[in-house]
Chains A and B, each alone.
Chain A
């Protein structure tokens, strides 16, 4: 304070009023308590890089970071794109609402034109009975048709095989290879005469009519009456029947 400065001294009423004003303000204790609470709030909010937040642990920042991580991982750009894109396989909202309305209108309402469960079941069983009867008739028809076919085919020609074979001279037996047959359903014959033109020109002709010795499924075995002194060619035929 410098010399000459004025000193102002409050009177008592003013001092009393000031005292009362100070006493209505916060005490030091309450200020400390407030400070503690603020610190607790700061701790609960946490730092911006806090992690590990869950429903029961972690700071507010940690919980926010957990939400951000889940959201950015789940809300992909592809999924976001569906919001503004028409998906061909998805029904329109109007259609879905219409379908919902129709279903709900029928779900819990008795319909006079609807068959009762008992009647529907009876009709179903009746139809099953008719179908079983029809199936039985069809089975009988199939059996009958098979029998008719068997009788019709029996005895008919199944296959014909034929050809020619040259039999060397001085041969007693010879064989002819054929494709597989049932021997007991076959007729075998030699067609025409086996003759040698060589003999025709020299002594009036030589002919041979071989006989069938046996027939297996794939071979005709035949024999000459006598070993021919010259080779000859003769036709043969196998007719197989059903």
Chain B
């Protein structure tokens, strides 16, 4: 099982992508299914990613 997470900043902007060794429980960590580098800089809101204008 892969533990791929994005790390959000205080504005819910994706500032990190991580392949971890286990599950983490942290409000700034959002688990995703694929290591997608394109998520960096996007905003996470209501379970969806969107470009920051």
- How near does chain B come to A235, taking the closest CB pair, in angstroms? 10
Which A residues are CB-close (under 8 A) to B9? 168
Verify A179–B19 contact, CB threshold 8 A.
no
Verify B28–A177 contact, CB threshold 8 A.
yes
> Which segment of A63-71, A72-80, A94-102, A156-164 sits at the interface?
A156-164
Verify A177–B15 contact, CB threshold 8 A.
no
- How near does chain A come to B32, taking the closest CB pair, in angstroms? 12
Verify B24–A176 contact, CB threshold 8 A.
no
Q: Given that A164-B37, A168-B9, A233-B40 are contacting pairs, would A179 and B17 also be in contact in the complex, using a CB cutoff of 8 Å?
A: no
Verify A177–B41 contact, CB threshold 8 A.
no
Chain B residues within 8 Å of chain A by Cβ, number: 20
Verify B26–A168 contact, CB threshold 8 A.
no
Verify B19–A162 contact, CB threshold 8 A.
yes
State which residues 6-48 of B face A: CB under 8 Å.
7, 9, 15-24, 26, 28-29, 37, 40-41
Of B19, B26, B37, the residue contacting A177 (CB under 8 A) is: B26
- How near does chain A come to B23, taking the closest CB pair, in angstroms? 7
- Bound CA span A238–B26, Å: 19
Verify A179–B16 contact, CB threshold 8 A.
no
- Bound CA span A168–B7, Å: 13
Verify A181–B7 contact, CB threshold 8 A.
no
Verify A166–B20 contact, CB threshold 8 A.
no
Verify B15–A166 contact, CB threshold 8 A.
yes
Chain B residues with a Cβ under 8 A of chain A: 3, 5, 7, 9, 15-24, 26, 28-29, 37, 40-41
